[in-house]
């Protein structure tokens, strides 16, 4: 203390109190991460840690954190530390702790076998008490004691083994059972959020700065857990799918790279069953839908934003497009089945699927293109008009180039949705459960010229074709059986392939957007 110049603006040394609060924030973070890992099954709560079960160790940590947090509040209230608490922790925190303690009271009373009215009574008393403790005293007590007490309660339950690895409870009146495997991580997540927030406030010395730090910790923990779920999902599918996807991969031989899962069909004679027909089907499907929807969507957007009089008509079109975008995909599928299929050879076909997905993609492309075109500054249009350049040329050479990044964003989002759609192609495109390699659509070399209308035909477009999401669905409904060696592995490989195809389309879209943004601004 004495060595540093201490002013109101500059504080260049760290007090023991701050160090302790910082450590508590860190420990809460660790407990949160371990809780998350236990929830997704990366660690087991029954695993031994330092001679005890993980759940007991976590309980001890929560207990310590809870006591520490209460200690921070009391120390500040008694004036041992230099903090700037406000008169009250505020209504939001009070309502939050009321809800938490009401729930805790109802649960505890239920566990003790008290009836419904008694449970609500206990909950109300505890909730009301929590409200009073949070809202009435000064902020340093109000935002630490209820949070610390939650952690102490949870910690005690875990340490004493009231809730542990083997714990389970059938919910009366519901056909469901709670297991310790999920309840313990949930309790840990919850209590560590409370102590993390509270300790962060103590670290910031309460008041405006403390609230700021507390909000940061809360937001980072929540964002982190969302990211963890996302990464966990991708990692899970990847781990399950990789063996199937990489089955038989090698370098050399007849071709430079052998990747049988991607280049084989699912015939009896293939040594490794593959997803080639469905993969090609999905790629053509997306290309066809984009080729249909992007020119029409962008064209309609140009008309609506540049030419049409803004009024009732454009308003009606806007409502209609928004409605179409939120229309359930199975409705589009029905439309395709009832309207398109009779017009294309009366059987499920690739082109019917392309157009159905194109119709689904159209509203999003229209909406985002319109936004992007409206966002192009009027100065560009004025400047071009003042040079004597006609309206259409202005749109083509100034407005549309400036709108491309926005349009691309819309197409990326739309492709992400339609590439994984199952319901519409189930009704319009069909395809087998385990198509052989010969079933893959051969669109490029399928074009035939003829002397009579329609002059060009392409049988490949008129045949039932499989796509990845449909094949996955068909495999699962068929009970994961069939003439392949390891249906389970095959299906997971298929799922991973679908994920990668969608991500690949994303990557193409993002690269396009990046390219055009650079071109516009550098």
Residues that bind another protein (CB under 8 A): 377, 379-380, 382-390, 393, 397-398, 401-402, 520-522
Helix (H) or strand (E) holding 482: none
The distance of closest approach from Cβ of residue 389 to another protein in the complex, given in angstroms and rounded to an integer, is 4
473 CB burial (10 A radius; 0-12, 13-18, 19+): middle
Q: How far is the CB of 391 from another protein (least distance, A)?
A: 10
Q: Which of 431, 281, 455 is nearest to 347 (CA)?
A: 431
- Residue 51 vs 311, nearer CB to another protein: 311
Nearest distance from C-beta of residue 308 to another protein, angstroms: 13
Distance of CA 79 to the CA centre of its chain: 46
Q: Which C-beta is closer to another protein: that of 380 or that of 506?
A: 380
Of 448 and 518, CB closest to another protein: 518
Determine contact, residues 202/72, Cβ cutoff 8 Å: yes
How is 69-114 classified by DSSP, letter by letter? HHHHHHHHHTT-S-----S---HHHHHHHHHHHHHHHHHHHHHTT-
Going by DSSP bridges, is the β-strand pair 250-251/168-170 parallel, antiparallel, or unpaired? unpaired
Burial class (CB in 10 A: 0-12, 13-18, 19+), 155: buried
Tell the burial category of 429 from Cβ atoms under 10 Å away from its Cβ (0-12, 13-18, 19+): buried
Closest CB to another protein among 108 and 398?
398
CB closer to another protein, 308 vs 507 = 308
Which is nearest to 126 in space by CA: 148, 100, 93, 162? Answer: 100
Q: State which residue, 99 or 383, has the beta carbon closest to another protein.
A: 383
CB 522 → another protein: shortest distance, Å?
A: 5
Give min distance, CB of 507 to another protein, in A: 25
- Region of 41 please: left (phi>0), alpha (psi -120 to 50) or beta: left
Q: What is the C-alpha end-to-end distance of the chain, expressed in Å?
A: 52
Shortest reach from residue 291's CB to another protein, in Å: 22
Shortest Cβ distance from residue 440 to another protein (Å)? 35
The alpha carbon of residue 308 and the mean position of all alpha carbons in its chain are separated, in whole angstroms, by 38
Q: Which is nearer to another protein, 404 or 419 (CB)?
A: 404
């Amino acid at each position: 203390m004495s060595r540093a110049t201490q002013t109101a603006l500059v504080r260049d040394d760290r007090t023991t109190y701050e160090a302790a609060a910082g450590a508590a924030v860190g420990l809460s973070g660790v407990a949160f991460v371990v809780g998350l890992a236990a929830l997704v099954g990366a660690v087991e709560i029954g695993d031994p840690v330092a001679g005890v079960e993980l759940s007991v160790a976590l309980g001890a940590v929560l207990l310590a954190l809870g006591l520490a947090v209460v200690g921070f509040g009391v120390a500040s209230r008694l004036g041992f530390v230099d903090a700037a608490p406000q008169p009250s922790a505020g209504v939001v925190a009070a309502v939050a702790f009321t809800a938490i303690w009401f729930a805790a009271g109802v649960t505890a009373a239920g566990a003790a076998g008290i009836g419904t009215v008694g449970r609500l009574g206990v909950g109300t008393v505890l909730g009301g008490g929590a409200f009073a403790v949070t809202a009435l005293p000064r902020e340093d007590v109000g935002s630490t004691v209820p949070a610390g007490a939650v952690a102490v309660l949870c910690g005690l339950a875990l340490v004493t083994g009231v809730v542990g690895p083997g714990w389970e409870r059938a919910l009366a009146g519901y056909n469901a059972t709670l297991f310790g495997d999920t309840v313990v991580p949930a309790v840990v997540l919850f209590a560590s959020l409370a102590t993390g927030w509270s300790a962060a406030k103590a670290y910031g010395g309460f008041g405006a700065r403390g609230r700021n730090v507390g909000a940061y910790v809360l937001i980072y923990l929540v964002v982190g857990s969302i990211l963890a779920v996302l990464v966990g999902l991708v990692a899970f599918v990847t781990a399950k799918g990789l063996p199937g996807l990489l089955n038989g991969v090698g370098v050399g031989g007849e071709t430079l790279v052998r990747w049988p899962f991607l280049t084989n069909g699912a015939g009896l004679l293939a040594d490794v069953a593959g997803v080639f027909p469905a993969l090609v089907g999905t790629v053509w499907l997306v290309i066809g839908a984009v080729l249909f929807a992007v020119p029409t969507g962008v064209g309609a957007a140009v008309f609506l934003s540049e030419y049409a009089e803004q009024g009732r008509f454009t308003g009606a079109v806007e409502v209609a497009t928004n409605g179409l975008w939120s229309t359930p995909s199975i409705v589009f599928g029905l439309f395709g089945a009832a309207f398109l299929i009779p017009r294309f050879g009366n059987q499920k076909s690739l082109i019917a699927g392309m157009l159905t997905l194109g119709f689904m993609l159209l509203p999003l492309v229209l909406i985002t293109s319109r936004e992007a075109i409206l966002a192009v500054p009027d100065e560009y249009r004025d400047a071009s008009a003042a040079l004597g350049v006609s309206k259409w040329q202005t749109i083509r050479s100034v407005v549309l180039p400036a709108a491309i990044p926005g349009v691309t964003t819309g197409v990326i989002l739309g492709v992400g949705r339609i590439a994984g759609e199952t319901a519409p192609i189930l009704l319009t495109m069909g395809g087998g459960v385990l198509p052989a390699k010969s079933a893959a659509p051969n669109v490029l070399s399928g074009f035939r010229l003829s002397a009579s209308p329609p002059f060009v035909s392409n049988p490949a477009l008129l045949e039932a074709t499989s796509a990845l999401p449909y094949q996955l669905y068909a495999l699962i409904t068929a009970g994961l059986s069939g003439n392949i060696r390891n249906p389970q592995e095959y299906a997971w490989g298929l799922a991973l392939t679908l994920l990668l195809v969608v991500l690949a389309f994303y990557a193409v879209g993002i690269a396009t957007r990046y390219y055009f943004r650079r071109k516009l601004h550098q």
